[in-house]
Amino acid sequence: MWQQVRATDYLLIVLGIWLAILSVYLIKTIGHYRRLTKGAKGQTLDRILEEVIEKVNLQNENRQQLTKQIQKLDQAQKGSFTKHALIRFNPFEDTGGDQSFVLALLDGANNGVVISSLHSRGGTRVYAKGVSGAKPTTHPFSKEEKEVVEKAARQAV
């Protein structure tokens, strides 16, 4: 008989522990549910989840639009001057200082223009040459022009 009482006591203790564990789990679950539905008076969890999914879909559409706009801007930027270099030099022995210069303005594909200004006592002359792929389009480059174009072409976009 003592064995039956002890078995029953053990069974009741185990069931009590099991009930306590389930109660703690249920309280945590209810608290989590309340936090999820906070601020949603009179709405079901299904409706709240539908709203969340709608918002996520809207954000995905916005992200796709922004990606397209970034791609368009990236394409437009490739046609803009993004690389530049300047070298000052003295082409003539009879003038003092580095009054002459060569300026290269290139886009992302190394196309653009190189502008040379040669200063002497008699005046200043300005020349412009086209650049395509960091190479001259029609007229050959001088030493300084070639140097400045190469310097600009090495720049990262």
Query: CA 114 to CA 102: how far, in whole Å?
Result: 7
> What ranges in 37-131 are assigned the alpha helix state H?
45-78
Cα-based angle 16, 18, 20 (whole degrees, multiple of 5): 70
Minimal CA–CA distance to 89: which of 102, 76, 80? 102
51 compared with 2, residue with greater pLDDT: 51
Other CB atoms within 10 A of residue 130 CB: 13
Two structure tokens written together for 19: 């009930």
- The reported pLDDT for the residue numbered 97 is 76
pLDDT digit string, tens, across residues 44-92: 778 878 888 999 999 999 999 999 999 998 888 877 898 999 999 888 7
pLDDT digit string, tens, across residues 93-151: 766 678 899 999 999 889 999 999 998 878 889 999 999 999 999 999 999 999 999 99
- The reported pLDDT for the residue numbered 123 is 85
End-to-end, the C-alpha distance of the chain in Å comes to 90
Query: CA 88 to CA 98: how far, in whole Å?
Result: 6
Q: Where are the domains of the chain?
A: 1-36, 40-78, 83-153
Q: Which residues contact 112 (CB under 8 A, 6 or more apart)?
A: 81, 83, 104, 105, 106, 130, 131
